[in-house]
Amino acid sequence: MSWLITGGAGYIGAHVVHTMTDAGERVVVLDDLSTGLVERLPDGVPAVRGSVLDRPLLDATLAEHEITGVVHLAALKQAGESVTQPMRYYRANVHGLTVLLEAVAEARVRHFVFSSSAAVYGAPDVDLVTEDTPCQPVNPYGETKLAGEWLVRAAGRVHDISTACLRYFNVAGAARPELADAGSSNIIPAFFERLDRGEAPLIYGDDYPTPDGTCVRDYVHVADLADAHLAAARWLRDARPDAGPAELTANIGTGRGVSVRELAGLVAELTGRREPVAQVAPRRAGDPPRVVASADRARRLLGFTARRDAAEMVSSAWAGWRHRHS
């Protein structure tokens, strides 16, 4: 098979590219490089610069490289930003996906892995979030991911495309320093950035109904997430063609919760930056007390279990941060 990975030069995308090429899969990357970095890619992987909104480029790429499967990661992903720029998010995440699926259907590509998000659930009031937990997104980013899932499944049924929608929980860490998250919007690099400025890690709210009063989240190592993509791609490849297009929706998490205060403590311990102590700010609107995945479906159907713990996420992310900010 030959896989097109959109957004393959990004933080998550590059990990998926390395994992799939290391496993012997043939990979082509499409990335507009708005946030992606070509130097993240393995030697020899073809890289096409462009957007999923460019239909002629998609048609040419799918044909030239004889693509038989797509892993779609290219998207805008900042929840807060999506509130102030909803049309931009819908254009990139929903319209872009529509253009891509039209090209995929016409090229008769038969396998499609979609990068979704736990943001589709919104603020669920449950101990463990299963794939059957009602989806009630609280921002346009989550809305675009849920609409994307609907579109992927509907197109798959009509055009005989086997599909997998992977709902990521909180992604962190790095497989190697040069692949680390280059931004500071996610919580761990945001802590690092404040520490480098001599400021305390910032915790939003410490009066939630959780053991230490801070929000509890399910953090999954990006290398484990990449393994999940490989497992999903191979699950689609091995699905019985006589049974019609396969369809999967699965949470990708650890099933274990870590509080924001616990995470700040790990950051202090593993970076050696024990002072200043964490600073507490008021709650942010829409932050649920606890969001932790049920990971049973991915384990049962894909044979996937996250192996790396929070300490490994923080230490590997710190190595990547120092690599980029030494």
Of 115, 86, 146, which is closest to residue 226 (Cα–Cα)?
Answer: 115
In SS3 terms, 140-206 reads as HHHHHHHHHHHHHHHHHHHHCCEEEEEEECEEECCCCHHHCCCCCCCHHHHHHHHHHCCCCCEEECC
Q: Choose, from 141, 168, 208, 219, the residue flagged as catalytic.
A: 141
Q: For residues 154 and 164, what is the distance between their CA atoms, to the nearest angstrom?
A: 12
Instruction: Quickly list H helices, the chain.
Output: 11-22, 55-64, 79-84, 86-90, 96-106, 140-159, 187-196, 222-238, 260-271, 296-297, 310-325
* 270 residue type, one letter: L
Of 157, 191, 189, which is closest to residue 173 (Cα–Cα)?
Answer: 189
Residue 29 is encoded by which pair of tokens? 């990357």
Active site residue 89: no
Cis peptide before 276 (omega within 30 of 0): yes
Instruction: Give CA separation, 256 vs 27, 113, 119, 243, 252, in Å.
Output: 32, 25, 17, 35, 12
Q: Residue 132 is inside which H or E element, if any?
A: none
Of 22, 69, 72, which is closest to residue 43 (Cα–Cα)?
Answer: 22
Residue 94 is encoded by which pair of tokens? 């929903």
List all residues 6 or more positions away from 271 whose beta carbon is below 8 Å from its beta carbon.
192, 195, 314, 318
Place of tokens 């970095």: 37
Which residues have a catalytic role annotated? 141
